[in-house]
Structure 1
Amino acid sequence: MADVQDSLFSDLPELPRPTEKAVDAPAPSPKKSRGATVKPVTPDAALLALAAELPSPLRLGTSSWSYPGWAGLVWDGDYAESVLSKSGLSALAQHPLLRTVSLDRNFYRALTASQYARYAAMVPDDFRFVVKAPSLVTDATVRDESGRGTQANPVFLSHEIALQEFVQPALDGLGHRIGALVFQLSPIPAHLLADQPMLIARIGAMLAAMPDLKPTAPDAVLAVEVRDPQLLCPAFADMLRSVGATFCMGLHAKMPPIEDQLPMLRALWPGPLVCRWNLHRRHGRFGYEDAEKLYGPFDKVLDPDPETRAALARVIAGTTGAGQNAFVTVSNNAEGCAPLTIASLAQDIVDRMSR
Structure 2
Amino acid sequence: MPLSPLVRFGTSTWTYEGWQGQVYFKKYSKTTFARECLGEYCQYLSNGEPCFRTVGNDSTFYRPPTPNQLRHYLNQIPEDFEMCFKVWEELTIPQFARQGRYGAKAGQPNPRFLDAKLFNELVLTPYREAKFEPHTGPFLFEFQRHGMSRDEFCSRLDTFFSQLPKDFRYAVEIRNAGLLGPDYRKVLENHGVAHVYNHWSYMPSLREQHERMEQKFTAPFTVLRLLTPLKMSYEAAKKRAEPYAKIVEELPDMRRDTVELLKNAVGDKRQAYVLVNNRSEGNAPLTIQALWSALQDAPL
TM-score, length basis structure 1: 0.76
Kindly provide the amino acid, as one letter, of the partner of residue 311 in structure 1. D
Residue 289 of structure 1: how far off its partner (Å): 2.8
Q: What's the Cα RMSD here?
A: 2.1
Residue 205 of structure 1: how far off its partner (Å): 1.2
Q: Which position in structure 2 is the counterpart of 1:73?
A: 22
1:342 matched to 2:288? The reply is yes
State the 4+ residue runs in structure 1 displaced beyond 4 angstroms.
77-82, 146-149
Q: Residues 228 and 234 of structure 2 are in contact (CA less than 8 Å); yes or no, is this contact kept in structure 1?
A: yes
Task: Go from structure 1 to structure 2 and tell me whether the alpha carbon gap of 1:305 and 1:258 turns closer, same or farther (over 3 Å shift).
Answer: same
Residue 171 of structure 1: how far off its partner (Å): 4.1
Task: Go from structure 1 to structure 2 and tell me whether the alpha carbon gap of 1:85 and 1:210 turns closer, same or farther (over 3 Å shift).
Answer: same
User: Percent identity of the aligned residues?
Assistant: 27
1:185 matched to 2:131? The reply is no
Residue 282 of structure 1: how far off its partner (Å): 4.8
1:107 matched to 2:61? The reply is yes
1:259 matched to 2:207? The reply is yes
Q: Output aligned runs, 1:122-271, within 5 Å.
A: 122-143=76-97, 144-145=99-100, 149-173=106-130, 174-188=132-146, 190=147, 192-193=148-149, 196-213=150-167, 221-263=169-211, 264=213, 266-268=215-217, 271=220
Residue by residue over 1:288-334, the C-alpha shift from the partner in whole angstroms, topping out at 9 and shown as x without a partner, is 23333332331111121122112101211221233211111001111
Task: Go from structure 1 to structure 2 and tell me whether the alpha carbon gap of 1:81 and 1:291 turns closer, same or farther (over 3 Å shift).
Answer: farther
Q: What secondary structure does 2:138 align onto?
A: strand
Q: What secondary structure does 1:98 align onto?
A: coil
Show structure 2 runs of 5+ residues with no match. 45-49
Larger-gyration structure (1/2)? 1
Task: Go from structure 1 to structure 2 and tell me whether the alpha carbon gap of 1:209 and 1:228 turns closer, same or farther (over 3 Å shift).
Answer: same
Task: Go from structure 1 to structure 2 and tell me whether the alpha carbon gap of 1:265 and 1:224 turns closer, same or farther (over 3 Å shift).
Answer: farther
Cα distance between partner residues in 1 of 2:93 and 2:8:
28
Q: What secondary structure does 2:108 align onto?
A: strand
Q: Which position in structure 1 is the counterpart of 2:11?
A: 62
Q: What secondary structure does 2:22 align onto?
A: coil
Q: State the aligned residue count.
A: 290
Q: Output aligned runs, 1:250-329, within 5 Å.
A: 250-263=198-211, 264=213, 266-268=215-217, 271-283=220-232, 287-329=233-275
Residue by residue over 1:164-197, the C-alpha shift from the partner in whole angstroms, topping out at 9 and shown as x without a partner, is 2323323443221111111111111x2x22xx22
Residue 198 of structure 1: how far off its partner (Å): 2.4
Q: Which position in structure 1 is the counterpart of 2:47?
A: none
Residue by residue over 1:193-222, the C-alpha shift from the partner in whole angstroms, topping out at 9 and shown as x without a partner, is 2xx222211111111111121xxxxxx521
Cα distance between partner residues in 2 of 1:345 and 1:67:
21
Show structure 1 runs of 5+ residues with no match. 1-51, 214-219
Cα distance between partner residues in 1 of 2:296 and 2:29:
34
TM-score, length basis structure 2: 0.89
Q: Residues 196 and 222 of structure 2 are in contact (CA less than 8 Å); yes or no, is this contact kept in structure 1?
A: yes
